[in-house]
Chain A
Amino acid sequence: MPKPFTKLSAIAAPIMRANIDTDVIIRIERLVGNSIRGTLGKWAFGSLRYLPDGSENPAFILNREPYRQAEVLITGPNFGCGSSREGAVWSLQEMGIRAIIGSGFGDIFFANCFQNGILPIVVDKEIVDGLAAEVEHTQGAGRIGIDLDEQTITSPSGKQHRFEIVRADAPVSLGVSTKSR
């Protein structure tokens, strides 16, 4: 089981291209089999991370220091769109990612993150772009702070942004819905 997410201060890597889909995060051929957990970390972002000859692509951000140590991804619109494969989340987790910040995520990927203790954070695009710019300005050295209880992100320069999240410990009531829409 992953450790509970409370607070984090970590290196963050901006991956800002729109529509990074779950096929790009992990190719299906890595997911065929019943014993794949624990094998996926090195295959995350395979098509971006490795050149056709199998060597590392030096142009890809997660192959560069200090981004190799990233525990947070700052992502472009619609990150995780596409397939329901939970292997996409598992592969990110196995490479050390603990939180993903973006203006919107694929709905199924978003739900799968919570199932595995990865925190997907939705904030306005301007905030995402601002965080990416600050991180790039510090060449990746500036850390992003995340406090789940307080529901805040702190940028490398100390700007604080609030985010919303549904509490998993909300009380459950038995009954019939009366909502009309």
Chain B
Amino acid sequence: METHGRTMLAKIWDQHVIAHVSDDTDLLHIDRHLLHDLGGSRGLLDLKSRNLPVHNPELTFATPDHAISSAHGRAGTSKTGLELLEGLRAETSASGIAMFDIDQPGQGIVHVIGPELGLSLPGCLIVCGDSHTCTHGGLGALAFGIGASELAHVLATQALIQRRPKTMRVKFEGRMPAGVTPKDLILSLIGHVGAAGGTGYAVEYAGSAIRDMGIEGRLTICNLSIELGAKMGMIAPDEKTYEFVRGRRYAPKGEMWERALAAWRKLPSDADAEFDREVTIDVAKIIPQVTWGISPEHVIGVDGRIPDPSEISDPARRSAVETALDYMGLKAGALIMGTPVDWVFIGSCTNSRMSDLRAAAAIARGRKVAPGVRAWVVPGSETVKREAVAEGLDKLFVDAGFEWREPGCSMCLAANGEMLAPGQRSVSTSNRNFIGRQGPRARIHLASPAMAAAAAISGAIADVRTMER
């Protein structure tokens, strides 16, 4: 007998169980498997070497994003990057897997194109060999990143053994103040609960700020779940979700749409569902966030001061802060605002959608990138690129001194040769400020697209609230 309601995680999970493995571990059916150039061809070659066919090529979709250059004409893609691209083309074609290739609508960062194409649907179980697969949870999907072994397993069987995570609900309550964006909400949460605060949990984001938020903002929120340690993040689907999904290329149509809609309406957690952990965040108190260290939990409000390690009692955390300050070239107790920057990167699966580009453009319009700063705008997909061009955003950015690039992961992870020089400092809309993430000894400050644009114009970390019009 059930004594309480069920969470959305439980509902989606149970719908995908093929077999129980142990008390908390199940074999799950995978609805969508997304492949990219970095691991896709390796996985397909792995299967080929073992004489295994792809179990469900029609549920598998591929696009190049990680290792391709974002330069025009993809100039500068490395020899190995080109080999991975050719490998992905050859192996997907041989296996009958749809691939969205360079310059085609549908190409882009996997976590941007999934929602865009209607591949990512509420209630779907989605995996990809990339930790930011949690992004798709913004549509009410159960989505998580997997490693190379699990990737090959899914290709061969379309199923995966998983341990059921604990559940955590984060309620963002209240209205976002001026200058504050979904990125600031999630960074603030990571600062609050720590980079391991969500480890072992599937996080459901709820509350009035989430209900008021557009779908792209919800994708940004779920995208950073992994940075608080949670492999899965999700948001209950609602009318906005259905409106977003309706009519997209792979979304259900006609009679199937009506049936899907009826099923999706049953997905949200029941009112009396219990979560293993609950956190409530007062959104009205959040100000624009910026990271100062080498973990996303090293984050403060833009008017804040850099922490002093001598005030931290836990030795592991103190050591991490000391390492961070040394690596970042920052002084304990100093204001973060005014820190000069060399680079600004607007892009990545976190913040490269139309709403992100519009927010950055609103700050850049009629202004100029500060002398000595290189600023890149890398749209998340071919579709985003075309829509932005149709709106004139490319011209606006170029007029302001930004470089307008081709869609892909680019400088977020520097798998494509696009990186900072040692010691250089960036403000980046991406998701990780880890040591070496944007190149050896590169110093990264994570922030929202508007904050990144403000830094590009100011030549230093700046408070976007003083630049909004």
**A and B bind:** yes
A176 interface contact, C-beta 8 A: yes
Whether A24 pairs with B436 at a CB distance below 8 angstroms is: yes
Whether A84 pairs with B195 at a CB distance below 8 angstroms is: no
Interface of A is mostly: loop
A85 interface contact, C-beta 8 A: yes
The number of chain B residues with a CB under 8 A from chain A is: 74
Which residues from A are CB-within-8-Å of B27?
A: 172
Whether A78 pairs with B6 at a CB distance below 8 angstroms is: no
B147 interface contact, C-beta 8 A: yes
CA distance A180 to B7 in the complex (A): 8
CA distance A21 to B67 in the complex (A): 21
Please judge, given known A-B contacts A29-B415, A106-B199, A107-B200, whether A84 and B129 are in contact too, CB under 8 Å.
Answer: yes
Question: In the complex, how many angstroms separate the beta carbon of B92 from the nearest chain A beta carbon?
Answer: 14
Whether B196 pairs with A19 at a CB distance below 8 angstroms is: yes
B130 interface contact, C-beta 8 A: yes
Among B259-267, B313-321, B353-361, B383-391, which stretch is in contact with chain A?
Answer: B313-321
CB-based nearest B residue for A128: B316
Among A2-10, A30-38, A64-72, A151-159, which stretch is in contact with chain B?
Answer: A30-38
- A contact residues, range: 35 or more
Give 1 or 0 for each of A38-68: 1 = CB within 8 Å of chain B CB: 0000000011000010000000000000000
Cross-chain contact of B150 among A23, A83, A104, A111 (Cβ < 8 A): A111
Please judge, given known A-B contacts A34-B83, A84-B129, A108-B231, whether A17 and B320 are in contact too, CB under 8 Å.
Answer: yes
Whether B415 pairs with A111 at a CB distance below 8 angstroms is: no
A166 interface contact, C-beta 8 A: yes
Whether B147 pairs with A166 at a CB distance below 8 angstroms is: no
Whether A108 pairs with B146 at a CB distance below 8 angstroms is: yes
Give the interface of B toward A (CB within 8 A): 2-7, 10, 13-14, 17-22, 24-27, 38, 41-42, 45, 67, 78, 80-81, 83-84, 87, 129-131, 144-150, 163-165, 167, 195-196, 199-200, 226, 229-231, 273-274, 294-295, 297, 315-317, 319-320, 323, 413-415, 422, 432, 434-437, 440-441
Would you give 18 A-B contacts (Cβ < 8 Å), ordered by A?
A: A19-B294, A21-B435, A23-B434, A24-B435, A32-B67, A32-B415, A78-B195, A84-B131, A84-B147, A86-B147, A104-B199, A108-B146, A166-B22, A172-B27, A174-B19, A176-B17, A180-B2, A181-B6
